[in-house]
Structure 1
Amino acid sequence: MQRLSLSILFLWLALSASAQPLAQRIATAFRTFETHESLANGIASLTVINAKTGEVIFAKNEKQGMAPASTLKTVTSATAYYMLGANHTFETTLYYTGQIDASGTLNGDLVIQGSGDPSLGSDRFPQTADTTLLATWIQAIQNAGIRGIEGRVIADDRLYNGQTAPRGWTWQDMGNYYGAGVSALNWRENSVGINFIAGASPEDATRIGKTTADLGYVQLVNETTTGNRGTGDRVYAFSAPYSSRIYLRGTYGIDLKKTIYLSLPDGAYDAAYQLQGALQKKGIAVMGAPTTTHLLLLAGSSVPSGGTTLHSHHSPTLGELIYWFNQKSINLYGEALLLTMVQSQTGKPTTRDGAEMLQEFWTAKLALPENEMKIMDGSGLSPENRITTHALARILTSIKGEPWFASYFESIPIYNGMKMKSGTIGGVLGYAGYQTSRDGTPLVFSLLVNNYNGSATPMRQRMFQLLNVLK
């Protein structure tokens, strides 16, 4: 009888909790969340909106500027749909200057002209893979009757003034694949993989095995050591745009079998270098050294203009690119989209101008106070980015009626059984997305945590527990 009474009591308590208004349930859960010792020196902000009515169901610290990490990608994505259109594509043109003589010798240059495509050479799409494109380009060159080249292979990266990294990015990030700089001619997502050979014992030096592409033009300075079993990948690369050396530091677990990806100091140059290497393997000699228009201009040399088109490559559509941008949180795509948007709107392709344009677009469109957004890049990698959960949730709510929303929604990953974009940088975790409550209410939410104590895994689980109240 006592057990039966306790069961009835627990059932009554559960039913009472479920009968509480959603706002009250969220408030109770958030109070438990924010008073946890992990936030003794940090801050959490949450905004939940009824997507159907626009009513704010719950908000706490919603006007506090927070570092958003990759949740900022949701804003960049939505802006790109507005400014570029879901069917926007990037065009990359291969052409030659000069003339082809009777022997098949090109007395001129081969030029790869970029327009900012972040997927050029990427293996995320069959038609964009580097091996596919190189084979296509070589076939086009051979079809034109070219058997040798007296000039050079030139990567035309003029549109965005060469390769740059956004202001605010850290030295520790820029050398790694997720911190790759952006160019008008990106190549293989401006990254390359390295395979390490661990030493016999922990603390022994590692050796570099194979790389996923020829890096003969860059000096790799390997300072990594062998880590203990189970310690995994703690390798960091240190370099910046146009570096001639890449320093590899940290530890590589003794039992690890993983390719470590680094950023390329100059993706455009790598594209020219790889095409020249592929040509020479086919017996088509190139007399000049590979280069880029940016490097030619730095040297005071003339750059090619005009010529005969050999091949035009069109990227996947914007919607297809944004799918991978959000699913895999590829920072390069955000920076490329930001530069493309500002180039199309103002003709000033710099990250600073793009960030200001993005900020002004949303403050005007939704009448947001301008101090609720302080944007530094298009990806959220800069720790100086700031946005309120109020602004972030309002933006995500406002786009639900757009004709491209289904494509946008598909790009949002699923975590904890919820459709939401995550964000992670040092001391920052965030989630922003969409959920339907148990009573059928469509919700939009934004949850950001800054300066928490402890490791990311337990904090992430506590955030999931909080967000479960929305289900």
Structure 2
Amino acid sequence: MQKLFSFLLFLSFLAHHTNAQPLTQKIASAFRTFESHESLANGMASLVVLNAASGQVIFAKNEKLGLIPASTLKTVTSTAAYHVLGADFTFETTLLYTGEVDASGTLNGDIVIRGTGDPSLGSDRFPQTADTAVLSAWIKAIQAAGIRRIDGGIVADDRVYNGQTAPRGWTWQDMGNYYGAGVSALNWRENSVGVDFVPGATPGTPTRIAGSTADISYLQLVNETITGGRGTGDRVYAFSAPYSSRIYLRGSYGIDLKKTVYLSLPDGAYDAAHQLHNALAQAGITQTHTPTTTHLLLLAGSEVPSGGTILHTHTSPTLGELIYWFNQKSINLYGEALLKAIAYRLEGKTDTRDAAELLQKFWMDKTGIPEGELRIMDGSGLSPENRVTTNVLARILLAAKKEPWFASFFESLPVYNGMKMKSGTIGGVLGYVGYQTSGDGTPLVFALLANNYKGTATPMRQRMFRLLDHLK
């Protein structure tokens, strides 16, 4: 009987070995083909594939080299946010008034919008966060308090994170565009605005701006774009920095294109105050002062409102709901807001550099990874100065599977090539990290990065998909 039992154990081991071995060999052969392609003649590729049940390394190549992760870094930030903040965490934005309301309904004071970092305030990704819904709730709360006139103005209070900033390491080309929007404690409409262009009659002629998705009359748009040829699409880039009052628009807009181009707002907090100011005026509630922010008041040496009577508290969607859109649509603003929230919760810090160092330390303490395998400048992956190994990316995804919130995180990952994975792309960088079950039923975790490849992203993406097909 003992001999029979031993023989059955041997057969079980042999079956596992013969099943696992072809998978390893199949991936190894496919990776050799992938990395030998001429597009990587001066580049570097790295792939790690782990058994998600045992943690066993099925395949690894260049797994300890620090590469630019692009938006695959979002998986590092989002899983840390689940750990530190909790899946049910929410942000709160408070509407208050200072001073007193007299018998005539005049508020002798200011309306204050006090933020705590919510990246979804005013966003149309959720019905309850849309700018129209939020403004309507604020106006109703002001009217319910008996306020009919304001001898003062709207003040946007974004002091918690010390104003609006863009992470160090972000490029000039990115910061003016919607995906390069800076972050503050009071974000509004994802700190972006859409601009509609009318192309000229022929390629090479100037375009003109037909309008914008919101009133941004306080900003000067300098339109230097020209009309592009048919099929050239959107090649418009906006150039601005936090607190700019002027945005330069350069590049080309295809002659056959019908698309709204989104830019970043130089100061989302100010825009929130500006939009509430306009909405109140339309509701017949006049204000004697122009809208402002605590940042502008401090610059002018003016008194900043403190305290106040609460009119309304807006609660954001839960962390799990925010992370869904963070990963699905790769919204960089959400990553920077979550990074700051993590740092604020851990040590009360708000600077992005401090927050990035805390995120690195968090994962080193939790997983034991060496310091050199995770060097980051932001929480979204937009900075080309980030350096991460595929070993770290895969290990963090592996650890996430054991957590009670894993189902929520897994749902947040998009589906590409029939696989649940997060993509990442910036100039010369493409990556995919995620989960897959192999044909023999083995659950897998993988991380694949390619840096400094030649050619456009589309053929490289197709080659990466063919490589990842061997995990199926």
* TM-score normalised over the length of structure 1: 0.96
1 CA distance for matches of 2:368 and 2:93? 38
Matches within 5 A, 1:444-455: 444-455=445-456
Aligned to 2:70: 69
Summarize deviations over 1:379-435 as a string: whole Å, max 9, x none.
Answer: 000000000001110110011010000000000000000000000000000000000
Shift of 1:302: 1.1
Letter in 2 for 1:206: T
Aligned to 1:336: 337
2 CA distance for matches of 1:210 and 1:300? 35
Letter in 2 for 1:219: Q
Is 2:198 aligned against 1:197?
A: yes
Shift of 1:283: 1.0
- Contact 2:239/2:249 (CA < 8 Å) preserved in 1? yes
Aligned to 2:143: 142
Aligned to 1:12: none
2 CA distance for matches of 1:361 and 1:452? 32
C-alpha spacing 1:245/1:206, structure 2 compared with 1 (3 Å): same
Matches within 5 A, 1:380-459: 380-459=381-460
Aligned to 1:115: 116
1 CA distance for matches of 2:320 and 2:350? 22
Aligned residues with identical type, % of pairs: 75
C-alpha spacing 1:34/1:146, structure 2 compared with 1 (3 Å): same
- Contact 2:106/2:148 (CA < 8 Å) preserved in 1? yes
3-state SS, counterpart of residue 312 of structure 1: strand
2 CA distance for matches of 1:140 and 1:392? 46
Q: Which runs of 4+ in 1 moved over 2 A?
A: 17-20
3-state SS, counterpart of residue 120 of structure 2: coil
Shift of 1:232: 0.4
1 CA distance for matches of 2:396 and 2:143? 50
Aligned to 1:4: none
Aligned to 1:373: 374
Letter in 1 for 2:127: P
Farther-moved stretch of structure 1 (135-144 vs 421-430): 135-144
Aligned to 1:302: 303
Letter in 1 for 2:192: S
Letter in 1 for 2:78: S
Summarize deviations over 1:184-207 as a string: whole Å, max 9, x none.
Answer: 000000000000001011011000
Shift of 1:19: 9.3
Matches within 5 A, 1:34-433: 34-433=35-434
C-alpha spacing 1:425/1:287, structure 2 compared with 1 (3 Å): same
- Contact 2:159/2:185 (CA < 8 Å) preserved in 1? yes
3-state SS, counterpart of residue 216 of structure 2: coil
2 CA distance for matches of 1:331 and 1:427? 19
2 CA distance for matches of 1:249 and 1:18? 56
2 CA distance for matches of 1:379 and 1:334? 5
Letter in 2 for 1:437: S
2 CA distance for matches of 1:258 and 1:82? 39
1 CA distance for matches of 2:252 and 2:376? 34
Shift of 1:210: 1.4
Corresponding pairs, count:
455
C-alpha spacing 1:179/1:399, structure 2 compared with 1 (3 Å): same
* TM-score normalised over the length of structure 2: 0.96
Letter in 1 for 2:124: D
2 CA distance for matches of 1:188 and 1:19? 49
Letter in 2 for 1:122: S
2 CA distance for matches of 1:373 and 1:344? 21
2 CA distance for matches of 1:134 and 1:363? 43
2 CA distance for matches of 1:87 and 1:321? 10
Mark the runs of 5 or more structure 2 residues left unpaired by the alignment: 1-17
3-state SS, counterpart of residue 112 of structure 1: strand
Aligned to 2:25: 24
2 CA distance for matches of 1:284 and 1:218? 24
2 CA distance for matches of 1:86 and 1:367? 24
C-alpha spacing 1:19/1:148, structure 2 compared with 1 (3 Å): closer
Letter in 2 for 1:148: R
Shift of 1:18: 9.3
Summarize deviations over 1:137-177 as a string: whole Å, max 9, x none.
Answer: 11111111111101110000000000000000000000000
- Contact 2:19/2:440 (CA < 8 Å) preserved in 1? no
1 CA distance for matches of 2:141 and 2:391? 52
2 CA distance for matches of 1:322 and 1:81? 9
Aligned to 1:10: none
Aligned to 2:465: 464
3-state SS, counterpart of residue 21 of structure 1: helix
2 CA distance for matches of 1:364 and 1:90? 27
- Contact 2:153/2:287 (CA < 8 Å) preserved in 1? yes
Shift of 1:20: 5.9
Mark the runs of 5 or more structure 1 residues left unpaired by the alignment: 1-16
1 CA distance for matches of 2:455 and 2:212? 35
Shift of 1:363: 1.1
1 CA distance for matches of 2:76 and 2:133? 32
2 CA distance for matches of 1:70 and 1:465? 21
Shift of 1:126: 0.2
Letter in 2 for 1:188: R
- Contact 2:152/2:289 (CA < 8 Å) preserved in 1? yes
3-state SS, counterpart of residue 434 of structure 1: strand
2 CA distance for matches of 1:467 and 1:387? 20
- Contact 2:182/2:191 (CA < 8 Å) preserved in 1? yes
Farther-moved stretch of structure 1 (343-352 vs 242-251): 343-352
